[in-house]
Chains A and B, each alone.
With several copies, the nearest count.
Chain A
Amino acid sequence: MDFTLNEEQQMLADTMARFVQNEYEFEARRKRLAEGPSDALARQMAELGLFALNVPEAHGGIGAGAVETLIVMEGLGRGLVIEPYVASAVIAPRLLATFGSEAQKDRFLGPIAEGRLRFALAALEPHARYDLENVQTHAVRRDGGWRLDGAKAVVPHGDSADWLIVTADTGAGVALMLVDAKAQGVAIDGYPTLDGQRAAEIHLDGVVVDDACVIGEPGQGLELADWATDQGLAALAAEAVGAMAKLTELSCEHLSTRKQFGVPIGSFQALQHRAADMRIAVEQARALALMAAAHVESTDRALRRRAASAAKAMAGRSGRYVGQQATQLHGGMGMTEELACGHYFKRLTAIDMTWGNTEHHVERYGELL
């Protein structure tokens, strides 16, 4: 095993660092937070190749793998970037490249690589909490397609997506479908989330989807949604690592500069030990984010699922610890919007609650023991 970055990977990491430095320094980010995701920035990210990363070369992409995705996500996490990314640049291209029809690939992968199409993963439902298999959205057969009725819950960036990736129960198994966000019968209620990003409740009321928009076979949808979610989990775990690593660095900086009783508070042993435990938490989360990157493309289903759940559970647990302790170490200022600390804490909290929290993924892992 070799954990060092090769030349291309190092360049990618440097690119991310520069991007964040130029566009996402604290004050710049506050402005972006107030204004919401920016099309100009999305274009810039596309120019950097970030949307082409997971698109195969044959379709105009870079055809990179899970490791490169991890590098990008860690960078986005360090910068607390709010632009929609995971569903459009990781989940959708991988899903379509792996399970899509040739027609779907031709239709979608090019525009994805160019950053011109946005996707959202809309697989969870209002009463399902984190259970993918609890699908109450119904798909009824009608000539050459399906009629969908149902609702999807807390869809990250659901209100800025062009296409929704949706599960629906056909009566003979669940199908995974692409739904045009502007199709008749689609109602998208967007709202802000605690971390300054956005999500949406989505209602499907007699939405017509034709067969060309079904991914894989109808009946295969649950497995595909599970696969797609695992790609997302691996990405979120890496983002969390970036965020908590940066937050730990900020905390250590604070400890070395902030003085009390005439000495830097970092000279107090209890706080040194706390910093050590935060650093250890980051290391554990990073180890499993790497493991997830290693296995998320595996055809061994149990291996893939275990890896994704382990990484997400650890990201949640470590993120919670690091977020809480960073706030504590920053004192009152850590409780305010005026330092970066609290923004990291909020994003880490939101990541934990997305697509299954720590408890959910520990349970999912336990079922695979």
Chain B
Amino acid sequence: MNLHESPEDAAFRAEVRDFVAAQLPEDIRQKVLGFLRVPREDYVRWQRILATRGWGAPGWPAEHGGCGWNAVQRNIFDEECFTAGAPRQMPFGLAMIGPVLIKFGSDAQKARFLPRIVAMEDWWCQGYSEPGAGSDLASLKTRAERDGEHYVVNGQKTWTSFAQWANWMFALVRTSADAKPQRGISLLLIPMDTPGITVRPIRTLDGGHDVNEVFLDSVRVPVENRVGAENEGWAIAKYLLGHERTAIAGLGMCKRLLRRLKELARTQARHGRPLIEDPRFRDKLARIEIDVLAHEWALARLISLERAGLGLGAEPSMLKVRGSEIQGELGELLMECAGPYAVPLVEAALEFGYDGPTPAGAELNALAGQYLDLRKVAIYGGTNEIQRGLIGKSLIPL
């Protein structure tokens, strides 16, 4: 065992930290750390800054334009970027369709799409979920019928994050009805400006608009846009879902929220003194910081064991559960910092640069929305109930 960060890793951490501190545009940092709305162009701007540095694709092998980093480095990179207030690197290209193309794509597809993902010349969205189907891929209903050199796609996708900003969607579609449910699925790459595509926003509790329904009405997709063989999309989908399992720990987000919480606890007062000096609130801070530390060390241990080939069982599920619980609690505590001023919610003040009135400043105005939004972490990526089931079954031989 060596429980201290290696000098190489520590140096790498310092390098990332310095880079982010120097290169992350101040306005973006403020939006992200202040829980304000982050517009499309900010994600693109930051991704291009990273790409220019050669850090556009941390998880990819070097020969495809990636960094070739190991899991420890990727984790350090994520953590430093998150903590400093960088917007997340959109996963739809980098962590989803990118790795799929690297493994299953044709050479032409790789050449065409991979560089544009790294430079964020394309914005991808994911066409997986369908209404009523939850995480049950086998019940996929969207159909694609062959018509010469095209598929004609009909159906509906939902929970499609940032579809309103995307120019490409990768979508699972049913290309054969007679096979058993898992077979007969194919993966198509669909330009979002194809006629027949309609995007309908789904407003979330915090008033935000990240997710959408996408309706596909006789959408014609060239056959060359299919990834892998026809009817073999199931294996691709499974590969994609099994990818980057340690990222679901959300450690960077936990650390970002914790840092913010401690800042607010220093500026907000209760009974006339800073919250951080209130014994009750200080205990809560201590507890949650201890939780974050445990989460951090559990993740570090998992990454180390995985590198040593000791294999991942249900551990990623454990990290998912803990990460979401911690983020949920941090959301609560952030809101508690604001006290009565968590109640006001002036939507316009969620935009950067707003200079109209808010009862107690934009920073408190954003906290209730953030609390509500953070509830989603226990739902997406496989609900915590599903994760607990996986863990439990792995422990109990029946």
Bound complex: CA A252 to CA B394 (Å)? 10
Interface string of B264-279 (1 = CB under 8 A from A): 0000011110001001
Contact with B along A120-136 (1 / 0, CB 8 A): 00001011011100100
Give the shortest distance, in Å, between B381 (CB) and chain A (any CB). 11
Q: Which of A2, A6, A124, A338 contacts B203 (CB 8 A)?
A: A338
In the bound complex, CA of A6 to CA of B3 (Å): 13
Which B residues touch A362, using CB under 8 A?
283, 286-287, 290
Contact B343 A199 (CB under 8 A): yes
Do A363 and B205 touch across chains, with their CB atoms under 8 A apart?
no
> Chain B contact residues: over half helix, strand or loop, or mixed?
helix
Say yes or no: is B318 at the interface (Cβ < 8 Å to chain A): yes
Q: Which residues of B contact A1 (CB under 8 A)?
A: 2-6, 9, 72, 300, 304
Q: Nearest-CB distance from B156 to chain A (Å)? A: 15
Contacts of B371 in A (CB 8 A): 349
Docked pose: A4 CA to B301 CA in angstroms: 9
CB closest chain-B residue, reference A201 = B359
Which residues of chain B have C-beta atoms less than 8 A from A189's C-beta? 357, 359
Asked whether, in the complex, the Cβ of B398 is within 8 Å of the Cβ of A276, the reply is no
Say which one of A91-99, A205-213, A260-268 lies at the interface with B.
A260-268
- Whether B301 lies near A290 (C-beta < 8 A) is yes
Known pairs A4-B1, A338-B202; A252 contacts B286 (CB<8 A): no
Which residue of A is nearest B207, CB measured? Answer: A337
Contacting residues, chain B, for A273 (C-beta < 8 A): 385, 388-389, 392
Complex interface: chain B residues within 8 A of A137 (CB): none
Interchain CB contact under 8 A, B286 and A363: yes
Q: In chain B, residues 322-345, which have Cβ atoms closer than 8 Å to a Cβ of chain A?
A: 322, 328, 332, 335-336, 339-345
A283 at the interface (CB under 8 A from B): yes
How far is A192 from B369 in the complex, measured between Cα atoms in Å?
13
Q: How large is the interface on A (under 10, 10 to 19, 20 to 34, 35 or more residues)?
A: 35 or more
Known: A130-B340, A252-B396. A260 touches B134 (CB 8 A): yes
Give the complex CA separation of A191 and B236 in angstroms: 49
Query: Measured between alpha carbons, how far is A5 from B1 in the docked complex, in Å?
Result: 5
Residues of B in contact (CB 8 Å), total 92
A153 touches B397 (CB 8 A): no
Most chain B CB neighbours (cut-off 10 Å) among A195, A287, A349: A287
Partner of B285, one of A277, A336, A366: A366
| Binary flags per residue of B1-26, CB closer than 8 Å to A gives 1, else 0 | 11111100100000000000000000
Report the minimum CB–CB distance from B262 to chain A (whole Å): 7
Asked whether B294 lies within 8 Å of A314 as measured between CB atoms, the reply is yes
A329 to chain B, nearest CB (A): 9
Measured in the bound complex, the distance between the Cα atoms of B371 and A327 in whole Å is 13
Asked if B391 CB lies within 8 Å of chain A CBs, one says: yes
CB pair A369 B276 closer than 8 Å: yes
* Interface residue? B358 (CB, 8 A): yes
B224-244 CB mask vs A (1 if < 8 Å, else 0) is: 000000000000000000000
Q: For residue A346, which residues in chain B have a CB less than 8 angstroms away from its CB?
A: 205, 372
**Contact across chains for A287 and B343 when beta carbons are under 8 A apart:** no
Output the least CB separation between B12 and chain A (Å): 13
Chain B residues, CB < 8 A from A331: 134, 379, 383
Contact between A287 and B297 (Cβ–Cβ < 8 Å)? yes
Indicate if the CB atoms of B283 and A363 lie closer than 8 Å.
yes
Chain B residues lying within 8 Å of A345, measured Cβ to Cβ, are 205, 372
On whether A332 and B1 interact (CB within 8 A), knowing A310-B290, A366-B286, the answer reads no
| Nearest-Cβ distance from residue B349 to partner chain A, whole angstroms | 9
- Contact assessment for A192 and B283 in the assembled complex, using a CB-CB cutoff below 8 Å: no
Instruction: Give chain A nearest CB distance to B297 CB in angstroms.
Output: 4
Instruction: Flag if A126 contacts B388 (CB, 8 Å).
Output: no
CA–CA, A362 to B284, complex, Å?
9
Identify A294's interface contact among B3, B340, B359, B396, CB under 8 A: B3
Nearest B residue to A254, CB-CB: B396
Instruction: Please tell me if the beta carbons of A255 and B396 are within 8 angstroms of each other in the complex.
Output: yes
CA distance A184 to B393 in the complex (A): 61
Counting CB contacts under 8 A, is A104 at the interface? no
* Alpha-carbon gap, A104 to B398, bound state (A): 57
Set of chain A residues within 8 Å of B318, measured between Cβ atoms? 276, 279-280, 283
Chain A nearest CB from B309 CB (Å) reads 10
| Cross-chain contact A3 with B345 (CB below 8 angstroms) | no
CA distance A359 to B285 in the complex (A): 13
Q: Is the CB of A191 within 8 A of B290?
A: no
Minimum C-beta distance from A94 to chain B (A): 17
Contacting pair B360 A126 (CB below 8 A): yes
User: Chain A 297-334 against B: per-residue CB contact (8 Å), 1 yes, 0 no?
Assistant: 00000000000001001100000100010011001101
Alpha-carbon separation in the docked complex, A365 to B295 (Å): 17
Residues of chain A with a CB closer than 8 A to B289's CB: 365, 369
**Is B293 in contact with A256, judged by CB distance below 8 angstroms?**
no
Contact code string B158-185 (vs A, CB < 8 Å = 1, else 0): 0100000000000000000000000000
In the bound assembly, the distance between CA atoms of A134 and B269 in angstroms comes to 13
Task: Identify which of A51-59, A142-150, A350-358 touches chain B.
Answer: A350-358
In-complex Cβ contact of B372 among A277, A338, A349 (8 A): A349
- A193 interface contact, C-beta 8 A: yes
Measured CB to CB, the closest approach of chain B to A293, in angstroms, equals 6
Q: Select A290's contact among B3, B129, B395, beta carbons within 8 Å.
A: B3
* CB of A46 within 8 Å of the partner chain: no
Among B2, B272, B344, chain A packs the most CB atoms within 10 A around the CB of B344
A3 touches which one: B129, B262, B300 (CB < 8 A)? B300
Residue of B298, B308, B395 touching A275 (CB-CB under 8 A): B395
Name B202's closest neighbour in chain A (CB-CB): A336
B262 CB contacts on chain A under 8 angstroms: 369
Which of B301, B305, B322, B380 touches A332 (beta carbons < 8 Å)?
A: B380
Which listed residue, A286, A290, A337, touches B205 by the CB 8 Å rule?
A: A337
B347 within 8 A of A: yes
Q: How far, in whole Å, are A195 and B9 apart by their CA atoms in the complex?
A: 44
- In the complex, are the beta carbons of B286 and A192 less than 8 A apart? no
- 8 A–B pairs (Cβ distance < 8 Å), ordered by A: A130-B340, A191-B344, A192-B344, A252-B397, A261-B136, A264-B396, A288-B294, A366-B286
Q: List 11 extra interface pairs beyond A153-B341, A349-B372, CB under 8 A.
A: A3-B304, A189-B357, A192-B344, A192-B346, A269-B389, A291-B3, A313-B287, A324-B375, A328-B385, A335-B379, A353-B340
Nearest 10 pairs of A and B residues by beta carbon: A272-B392, A294-B3, A287-B297, A276-B391, A366-B286, A266-B396, A287-B298, A3-B304, A284-B294, A194-B345
